[in-house]
Amino acid sequence: MTEANYLRQYRLYLQAIKRWLNPSLARRANDRLPFLDRFGGVYYLYVRGMNGRDETTGVYFHRATQQELDLDFVLKNA
């Protein structure tokens, strides 16, 4: 993930998802959950790296942090 700079990729995708979903979430008056409570996380599945038995290789999961929702942080640190 780090060598191929996929961290920046998922953080930029996170920005896009947040911007795309927030207007629709804001319209729902009874919906008060913060974005991170609604967004489960990011999975990267590397088919060539999977061993077929478990998730020890070829699977990367990350639950987004509040800091990663800050575009300035993403642009400076990825």
Confidence of residue 23 (pLDDT cuts 50, 70, 90): low
The rounded mean pLDDT for the chain is 80
CA–CA distance from 2 to each of 10, 17, 23, 39 (Å)? 11, 21, 32, 22
**Residue 59, C-beta contacts closer than 8 angstroms, at least 6 positions apart:** 43, 44, 45, 46, 50
Length reported for the chain: 78
Report the percent of the chain where pLDDT is more than 70.
83
Q: Which residues pair with 45 in a beta bridge?
A: 59
pLDDT for res 58: 85
Query: pLDDT by residue (tens digit) across 44-72?
Result: 888 888 887 877 788 889 899 999 888 88
Task: Transcribe 47-65 into DSSP letters.
Answer: GGG--SS-SSSSEEEE---
